Amino acid sequence: MPRRRGLLAAPFLALLPGPARAQPGCAGTVHLTIDTGWSREAEAIAATLRRHQVRATLFVADEPTFRGDRTLDESWAPFWRARVAEGHNFASHTWRHWYFRGDAGPGLVRYVNRQGPGQETLTQAALCAELARPMDRLRQLAPGAQVLPLWRAPGGITTPGALAMAAACGLRHQGWTARGFWGDELDSAAHPNATLAQRAITGTRPGEVVVLHWGVRSRREPFALVLDQVLAGLRARGLCCAPLPPQGVA
């Protein structure tokens, strides 16, 4: 498992303000969250969510995509506007999707590019700007987006300083639960979809915070191919999916 803590004609759901409400016939709620990622399966995942009338919380960063552009380029505006219309809510996944690699002193945190050269030490103001920028850009691309006062560190890896500094920006960190890691980033030869799907259906408990991506470049058997099966399996167990409430989930 990666080093983590804790990505068609059905009618769109209305956007409900405040915390998610229990749905009739539900034995429990699962909070589905989706990080940007490679975005190769983005449209397929979105279609599956529509069929199941599932809304999620979308953590957004400006990442490279399979199309050769970036997730917050103008070319992705129709995609994000469609997600707003469907009633998903949004939160920051940082702008550059770099990794936090330790505190450098009071009010300072090291921020490192895992994919190539680049690192810097963020001050309080710089960290606030890094977290605010993707949401500012999202609002430009998709006016009306419901943005939560939450954030998620790339890889889920935080530092005490980063958490405190982000809290000073008005943002609470939201990770995922242990059973909420469904494995869409794992190697598909060692972790085939059939195994991951069965584990997700039987192992997910009420109250889980699940993390997925809109596509993972390194996975040859996309998890999106079994997402329909997983959502149907959870619903058969009486579990309903919902986005995160504004205060997050502990």
* CA–CA gap between residue 216 and residue 38 (Å, rounded): 5
Integer CA distances (angstroms), 175 to 36, 59, 123, 244, in order = 15, 11, 23, 11
pLDDT tens profile 155-207: 999 999 999 999 999 999 999 999 999 999 999 999 999 999 999 999 999 99
pLDDT in tens, 95-111: 999 999 999 999 999 99
Q: In sequence order, what are the residues at sequence separation of 6 or more whose Cβ sits closer than 8 angstroms to the Cβ of residue 239? A: 26, 27, 28, 29, 30, 204, 206
- Identify the pLDDT of residue 89: 98
Q: Is the pLDDT of residue 117 over 50?
A: yes
Q: What are φ and ψ of residue 116, in 5° steps?
A: 175, -165
Domain range annotation of the chain: 28-242
d(CA 63, CA 73): 10
* Top-level class of domain 28-242: alpha beta
Burial of 18 (0-12, 13-18, 19+ CB in 10 A): exposed
Q: Are strands 119-122 and 108-112 parallel, antiparallel or unpaired?
A: antiparallel
* Token digits of residue 162: 């980063």
